Structures are given as structure tokens and as C-alpha cells.
Amino acid sequence: MHTPLPPLVARAALQTLKESDPDLAAIERQAGPLPWRTRPRGFPGLFAAITGQQISNQAAAAIWGRVRALPGALEPAGLLVLPEEALRGAGLSRTKVAHARSLAAAFVEGRLDDARLAAMDDEAAVALLMTVRGLGRWTAEVYLLFALERADVFPAGDLALAAATAHLKRLPARPDQAVLRRLAERWRPHRALAARLLWHHWRHVTGRPSMDDVPGPPLPAPPPD
């Protein structure tokens, strides 16, 4: 499967980032070119993020493939009328079904809106997303990074980022969120690119695929701007 490479503006930022940190500079030499992964904006992207919470990429990809095949599942109003049995049958837990319905209701009621989120700064967008049941900081930051392609978002609650940083920096233990955020300060204003590099490093080290690399139905493409 062909994975797009970073756009030119990101390549320029990557060069600046790697010049400031030799450890990050070594990642592409060892793991190959950084793939440029994105998520759809709006309800489908957030729904996909909920699906992937606290499970492996392989499991998330398999469940998402079944979920997105359900008629109307990628539209807020359509999701709300799907019976719980259909969503549970696709592999969603009861808790994730409840969270998906809360997300859909937020879009239907106008509490969430793609254009409004896109116009907000990072912290304001994260705060708004976290008002929806089931959307924590990690989910919100992952959405901003992959769907809105924000340049300086760093999901410090991500275990793979912590593990990758510990391995790359030869730390004695995996850093907690507070320590990882402090470590990431040196990568401003390109922390999202640093996160992408760290995930790329960890996939290379562990051999674990991303959600996009798992065979199966593809994720929906982002809508045009």
C-alpha cells in the first residue's frame, strides 16, 4: 500500500527539527522516509479515534472496517438510529457505543462543528472536544494532529510515544506524561512532527503496524478543504 510522504512544508520543518536533535535525525536513516498519515475531519475522524482507544492497531483497524460498513455509521444522525446490537456486533464495546452516540449527539445538536474546531487554537479545540463524553485529552490531541494537521500538538499521554522516547534517548525508564511534555519542549514549534517521527521509530523497532498499515477496508479519505 502506498503511503504518502510529508508535504513540502512539513519536509522543511522536519529538516529544522532534525538539525536541532541528532536522535530524531537518525530515525529516517534507520526506519526509512516518514509516512504522512492523516485522519478524516469531523465526525468520522473522531469516531475512528474513539474506536482505537485502548486497543491494538490491528484490532482497531478490524473493528473500524466493520463499523464503517454499517449503513449511515459515518454520519451523526445515521449513527444515532443504528441499533446498539449492530454496533456491538461490529466489535465496539458497550462503553464505546455510548461514547460514539454522545459524539454523534454533539454534532447533531451543534455543540461540535468541524469548521468551528478548525478555527480554534489548539488548547481551545482540545477543551471543547473534552466536553464530550468519551473524548479525553489523548483523543482530542490525536484528532488535532492527524485530522487538522496541527503543527505543535504532542499527545504526551500516548504510551508508544513514551516508549519510543525512552528507547531513542536511552532513558532508564519510560517517562510519565509530565516528564514527556517537558522533554518535548525542545521540539517546539514542531512537536507534532516529532511525535510522528517517534511513532515511526517505534513501529520500526517493534515491527508493529499502524492502524493504516493493517490489511482491510481503508479509512475514509479526508474531505477536500
pLDDT of residue 201: 97
- C-beta atoms surrounding 107 within 10 Å: 21
pLDDT in tens, 131-148: 999 999 999 999 999 999
Cα 63 to Cα 68: distance, rounded to the nearest angstrom: 9
Residues with Cβ within 8 Å of residue 69, at least 6 apart in sequence? 90, 217
What per-residue confidence (pLDDT) applies to 158?
93
Per-residue pLDDT of the chain (225 residues; tens, 9 = 90+): 345 667 888 889 999 999 999 999 999 999 999 999 999 999 999 999 999 888 888 899 999 999 999 999 999 999 999 999 999 999 999 999 999 999 999 999 999 999 999 999 999 999 999 999 999 999 999 999 999 999 999 999 999 999 999 999 999 999 999 999 999 999 999 999 999 999 999 999 998 766 554 333 333 333 332
What are the C-alpha distances in Å from 12 to residues 31, 127, 193?
Answer: 19, 30, 11
Residue 3 pLDDT: 54
What pLDDT, on the 0 to 100 scale, is given for residue 176?
A: 97
**Per-residue pLDDT at 1:** 37
Quick one: pLDDT at residue 209?
A: 64
C-alpha of 64 from chain center: 14
- Give the pLDDT confidence score for residue 5 in this predicted structure: 62
Residue 212 has what pLDDT? 54
How buried is residue 224: exposed, middle or buried, by Cβ count under 10 Å (0-12/13-18/19+)? exposed
C-alpha cell at 56: 491494538
Domains and their CATH numbers in the chain: 8-36+152-206 (1.10.1670.40), 43-146 (1.10.340.30)
Report pLDDT digits (tens) over 3-38.
566 788 888 999 999 999 999 999 999 999 999 999
